[in-house]
Structure 1
Amino acid sequence: MQQTEQSNKTIILAQNPALKERKLRLRWLLAISSLPLFGIITAFGIAPQTSTQDIAISTIVEEIELPELSTPLVSENLENQNYWQADQVRRDDTLASLMSRLNVQNAEALDFLRRNPEASALASQLRPGRAIQAQVNANGELLKLQYQLSPSATLTIERTDSGYQAKTGEPVLETHSVLKTAEIRSSLFAATDAADIPDSIAIQMAEIFSSDIDFHSDLRKGDRFVVIYEARYDNGNLVNTGQVLAAEFTNQGKTYKAVMYRSPEGKVAYYTPEGKSLHKSFLRSPLEFTRISSGFTMGRFHPVLQKMRAHKGVDLAAPTGTRIKAPADGVVSFVGVKGGYGNVIYLQHASGVSTVYGHLSRFTPGLRSGMKVSQGDIIGFVGMTGMATGPHLHYEFLLNGVHRDPLKVALPAALPIAPQYKADFLAHSSNLSAQLRLLSASAVASLD
């Protein structure tokens, strides 16, 4: 046993020198392979402090032959290059300054613009903000010009083989849907102004929801609405706005929705997304938008008579000349002057209903007794004739000869969407309702 242990020790001792020799070679190999790395580290370490004063600088010039171009960079025939330039009329513009800014330089074109009877409308109707665009060549010769004379008329001037020609016609407009949302802070018009929504759209919304919302007294701070309406553009410039396509109005926590539908016959009406008509047999108010200066009451101190007297109608304050609409189909039973009413109109409607309109400044030309009128027809204009202290409309509503409050009486609904149009309407309504939901959700998220 002792001999065996001695033998193992001898083997181990015999192996140790070989092991030491392998370790030594490995260390040398690692040391040699690390030299480049140490060199890099050293270079990075001394680079910021390296002195560059002793580095020699030399300039080398070498000629490089450029390839020949197969086609010239600039066209030899510059006259064939035409340019469109768009601009807007400025407040201090003259015809000369406007043409100079559009790079129109040929005397022939300028003379035509001044002398031609139709083209001269450009110089006489320069209105700040209106769009104008001109096509000229590299020599400044006018080839074509288009100017927006009005929302419905565009002047076009074009050079032909026989000289310049001018014509006025309706612009080709592009119609797009505009989606807007706003919150009521003080009034409907203040909210639409803040959201850059035209007044015409605000008036339409007031009419659409007039059967459910009294815009004279029901609005509250925090009410909000979303609306989709048509806008028409000429070469990217807004020309006018069209009709409301869909709207959603939240008033005092209750939400009302409206969708426009144009039947194949071209008749336009507003419905709930399910097809229930939003129109009533009677409009709630014969004025587009106003405020109540005196309500319906059986006892009021009369400002002219200076005594208590029943006021069996409502006074709607509005500027002189404001249009008055027939709230429903009917027949004119009286038009003329009558006592304290001044200029007054009586209309007889179906189902025992009659209405009265007093203190008018004037009547619609041609209006006479026995004439039929349709809902929305203009019958007269606000004034202050008779016993009135200021311009307003005195409006009365009678049912079977008994006066009722026009702003509180229940108004019957019109017929729902016709059965033959129901499927088409629902498809149309589904698309607009989806857009309203998306816009409404984004508006609520932004408020949160």
Structure 2
Amino acid sequence: MATILKHAVPGAEVTASLDQVRETVAGVIADVRERGDAAVRAYSEKFDRWSPEAFRLSAGEIEKIVASVPRQVIDDIRFVQDQVRSFARHQLDSMGEFEVETLPGVRLGQKHIPVRAAGAYIPGGRYPLTASAHMTIVTAKVAGVPRVVACTPPIHGEIPAATVAAAHLAGADEIWLLGGVQAVAAMAVGTDTMEPVNLIAGPGNAYVAEAKRQLFGEIGIDLFAGPTEILVLADSAADPFVCAVDLLSQAEHGPDSPAVLITTSREIAEKTLAEVERLLPGMPTRDFAGPAWRDHGQVHVVDSLDELYALADAFAFEHVEVLTAEPREALRRMTQYGALFLGEGTCVSFGDKVIGTNHVLPTRGAARYTGGLWVGKYLKTVTYQEVTDTGSGALLGRLCGRASRVELFEGHARSGDVRAAKAAGDELPWNKA
């Protein structure tokens, strides 16, 4: 049985907050539908105090901005994008197209077609999150998407130069200095200045995640990527200092970011709590990390590794960091997570920033039914069929007629009858003059 040493805020408060988010987002989307660019500009002024002559950067502006970024930053961006690109290409290579002859003259096939246009939402507002450009744009381009639109907000009224550079180097075809729900809505429904896209990918705060949820169906989305989550699994061999540092590393994303520790050792739990309290006041990002830990931090002590992994699966968190003596055991024991980080040698921050796997991952329990963003999200897996053998055509036509009439679908049956008639001369009793 688990002992909870630290609780999160009550669920009712969270639900009330989400209801407010839904209402706000619905209003913004409706306004962008009705007023287009005027609404987009109004919300950008209201939320970001940003109203340039044009939100889309010109080629000259992009060149100037990229030139202002220090060489080391550019080199680091290129290195990380190479890692992301390499992993995405391996994913693409795992997705074979095929054609198979199932009966004489009956060919069935499968192929993968990239969407025509994708939107890449790159969060900002406070931090220049260059890594999200790598994850969304590079992956889309590996998939073969011909038009990728990147949207990122200004930071305190300034252009996030490193983010613009990352989007450009990743291969974005359009870069817009525009953020929040207004950016997601503009990409989805289109305006006079922005053509709509078919799919939007990228993480964001609760408002961005809700905008994607409400627009899903009209456009495709990668997944419901809301506030980031970290779950640290630790046994008695874990280092409490490492546990605390890594919990806070994700809490700094925002005041609504859950950070949870599950451990088999009460001593590790108590020492981790003490380390968090020691480290938090000195964090430059404590104004985000502090409320996140206060309101959404949890610490659970369990009796065994069996209980640890069962509880971890119940959380179905975005990031799961395994700090146990045998971390690879989690590959066998767990089934519900966005990404695993195995052992002290790696960390969630590696996945967020540099290692190459995608950091756009399922949150709020979505790991129960989906994985994270990958090259396949930008591809439509479609099938085709062809019948050229008359014997097979007659067989399938007669079978289709019988199967359809069992279901009382006479129109379907007649389509099958026609194929049997053309292939083998079968009569069509329902077609008598």
Q: TM-score, normalised by structure 1?
A: 0.19
Q: Which has the higher helix share?
A: 2
Q: Highest Rg: 1 or 2?
A: 1
Structure possessing the higher relative contact order (Cα contacts under 8 Å, 6 or more residues apart)? 2
Q: Which has the higher strand share?
A: 1
